[in-house]
């Protein structure tokens, strides 16, 4: 059994991670750290775990009790935590924040569709951002063939859980419901990791990624709609995407249009592709808390420990 520890166990990503790990056939949970909830039962905070575990949050922990530690604290806190730790030999780290997505401190960027073989041998993995996952999966096949030859235009909408568990003016129900808004237009922090990885595949790519993120009036999921210049016809484009993702267990080219209900509550990414007057149009849908966060973290753990990527992640979409 893989012994898993969690640092920063009270947020949405930690809650989803726990939901997956308590049902993972190869994992036992060694500890779940939360300073603010120390002593409380996990199910008092993550109420969906009632009946699944009697574990309690802890303030103190011993890293030697774990084989893998997931870092689920706020952005910026993972680097602070690591600086104050002596990591025992053999303990692997998976960071769900943005601190090490630049691959500093020995971390490997954890997008399996890009770095599967590197993840298999990694001791430290930096989980990608949620928007970054959806957008990169829509663009990797084009970049791999050197076909990103102009600006990329992206509009993407995310559910309220993408903003984290702490309430704010733009996440509470009375503001969010029946509402839609733009934020961080052209400046979103995930552009850094997207641009860096696309240039790894296509070094000559020097065009803009014009990204307009939006807040949706739903809890979870991301739909990203992208278009860019492309010389391929639709049949060639579909073959390119089908071939690129042929061995990917969670990323699939759909036959027709895609929508959020086909992926919410799963670790899937579904893509639809089409061409229009010299443009490639790609739509990508994921669950921001699973393929965009905790599900992908478990997928990375599976790879790091030599398990089937799908272990603990055979989830059913909430279709209705």
- The tens digit of pLDDT for each residue in 35-44 reads 999 999 999 9
pLDDT at 57: 97
User: 101-122 burial, b for 16+ CB within 10 Å, e for fewer?
Assistant: beeeeebbbbbbbbbbeebeeb
- Confidence band, pLDDT 50/70/90 cuts, at residue 162: confident
Confidence band of 173 (pLDDT split at 50, 70, 90) = confident
Considering the domain architecture, whether residues 63 and 149 belong to the same structural domain is answered as: no
- How many domains does the chain contain in total? 2
The structure's pTM equals 0.96
Residues 6+ apart with CB under 8 A from 193: 98, 101, 102, 109, 128, 129, 132
User: Following DSSP, what letter does each residue of 78-130 receive, concatenated?
Assistant: HHHHHHT--PPTT-EEEE-SSTTTT-GGG-EE--HHHHHHHHHT-SEEEPPPH
Query: Containing domain of residue 168, as a range?
Result: 130-286
Query: Does residue 292 carry a pLDDT above 80?
Result: yes
In a domain, 53, yes or no: yes
pLDDT at 78 over 80: yes
* DSSP at 24: -
Mean pLDDT of 105-130: 98
Q: Tell me which of 100-109, 157-166, 263-272 is least confident.
A: 157-166
Same domain, 113 and 32: yes
> Is 130 annotated as catalytic?
yes
Residue 66 tokens, joined:
């774990």
Claim to verify: residue 110 and residue 184 sit in the same structural domain: no
SS3 assignment, position 133 = helix
pLDDT at 320 over 80: no
**Residues in CB range of 19: below 8 A, 6 or more apart:** 46, 48, 49, 52, 294
Same domain, 99 and 141: no
**pLDDT on residue 250:** 98
Residue 319 scores a pLDDT above 80: no
Q: Is the predicted pLDDT of residue 265 greater than 80, yes or no?
A: yes
Task: Quote the DSSP letter at residue 185.
Answer: T
For residues 32-71, one letter each, b for 16 or more C-beta atoms within 10 angstroms of the residue's C-beta and e for the rest, the string is bbbeebeeeebbebbeebeeebebbbbeebebeebbbbbb
Q: Is the pLDDT at 1 greater than 90, yes or no?
A: yes
Catalytic residue selected from 58, 72, 130, 230: 130
Same domain, 120 and 151: no
Q: Is 294 helix (H, G, I), strand (E, B) or coil?
A: helix
* Residue 160, pLDDT above cutoff 80: yes
Same domain, 49 and 190: no
Confidence label for 66 from pLDDT (cuts 50, 70 and 90): very high
Residue 305 β-bridge partners: none
Give the tens place of pLDDT for each residue, 235-248. Answer: 999 999 999 999 99
My answer on whether 148 and 68 are in the same domain is no
Cβ 139 vs Cβ 191: under 8 Å:
no
**Domain containing residue 139: CATH number:** 3.30.360.10
Q: How far is CA 35 from CA 9, 16, 57, 104, 301, in A?
A: 9, 19, 8, 27, 25
CA–CA separation, 215 and 162 (whole Å): 9
Tell me what the pLDDT averaged over the chain comes to.
Answer: 96
Model confidence band, residue 166 (pLDDT cutoffs 50, 70, 90): confident
Compute and round to an integer the Cα radius of gyration of the chain: 19
Considering the domain boundaries, does residue 315 fall inside one? no
* Cα dihedral value 143, 146, 149, 152, nearest 10: -10
**Whether residue 112 sits in one domain with residue 196:** no
φ/ψ of 105, rounded to 5, equals 55, 30
Is residue 97 domain-shared with residue 152, that is, in the same domain?
no
């Amino acid at each position: 059994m893989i012994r898993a520890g969690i640092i920063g166990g009270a947020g949405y990503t930690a809650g989803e991670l726990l939901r997956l790990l308590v049902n993972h056939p190869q994992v036992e949970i060694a500890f779940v750290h939360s300073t603010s909830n120390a002593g409380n039962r996990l199910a008092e905070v993550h109420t969906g775990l009632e009946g699944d575990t009697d574990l309690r949050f802890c303030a103190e922990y011993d890293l030697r009790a774990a084989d893998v530690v997931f870092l689920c604290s706020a952005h910026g806190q993972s680097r602070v935590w690591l600086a104050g730790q002596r990591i025992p030999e053999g303990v692997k780290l998976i960071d769900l924040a943005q601190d090490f997505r630049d691959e500093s401190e020995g971390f490997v960027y954890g997008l399996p569709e890009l770095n599967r073989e590197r993840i298999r041998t990694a001791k430290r993995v930096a989980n990608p951002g949620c928007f970054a996952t959806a957008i990169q999966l829509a663009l990797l096949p084009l970049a791999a063939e050197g076909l990103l030859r102009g600006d990329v235009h992206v509009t993407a909408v995310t559910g309220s859980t993408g903003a984290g568990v702490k309430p704010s003016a733009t996440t509470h129900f009375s503001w969010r419901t029946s509402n839609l808004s733009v934020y961080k237009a052209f400046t979103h922090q995930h552009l850094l990791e997207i641009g860096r990885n696309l240039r790894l595949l296509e070094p000559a790519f020097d065009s803009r990624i014009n990204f307009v993120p939006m807040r949706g009036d739903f809890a979870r999921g991301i739909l990203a709609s992208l278009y860019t210049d492309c010389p391929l016809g639709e049949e060639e484009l579909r073959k390119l995407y089908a071939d690129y993702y042929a061995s990917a267990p969670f990323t699939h080219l759909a036959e027709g249009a895609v929508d959020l209900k086909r992926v919410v509550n799963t670790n899937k990414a579904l893509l639809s592709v089409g061409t229009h007057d010299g443009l490639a149009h790609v739509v990508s849908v994921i669950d921001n808390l699973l393929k965009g966060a905790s599900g992908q973290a478990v997928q990375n753990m599976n790879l790091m420990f030599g398990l089937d990527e799908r272990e603990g992640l055979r989830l059913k979409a909430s279709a209705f």
